[in-house]
A and B are shown apart, each in its own frame.
Chain A
């Protein structure tokens, strides 16, 4: 079946511009995560959506970052006034519970380069 999809695959923008990154989770998965992966770094948690509950935004690095999830499905991560340090791969994951563990399925990521 279809996995998690993300768009665009690559995004090059100028410092100060706003960008929107999109994630289409696996159908039926109620949980959705955004992570950031910088070169040589592990995945950094950004935000978590679960059903109709209030999202956990504790990982967002600044108020320039926001995310929404419409209709419990598609999610958009918005970065306003981008900075060069925002350059990274942004990964989305959706999850289901298999056995005793929740399994997160990742999309291929959006590679963001801020010039």
Chain B
């Protein structure tokens, strides 16, 4: 397993601003993932972040809105840009390998409220 921390744990932001969420893992991992959990809904994968390459975004998510950095094997950031109230969600990072049988381990999440 892996121990994952996220900063901040929660934030309240104004419309039009940006917030960068940090994800730190206690061991080196190949794959890191960013999810969004909107109120009352399921977890939705935003993107997969690989060290040394561009993040891979899922349908409906774009780099301009959710830029991701992955500078090394233990750290990643997700920025929520030009926020609107619809971006109010819990954002979670997870780690794990892709492929059959590989489970993912999740961070505690960042609860974002946009006014």
Partners in one complex: no
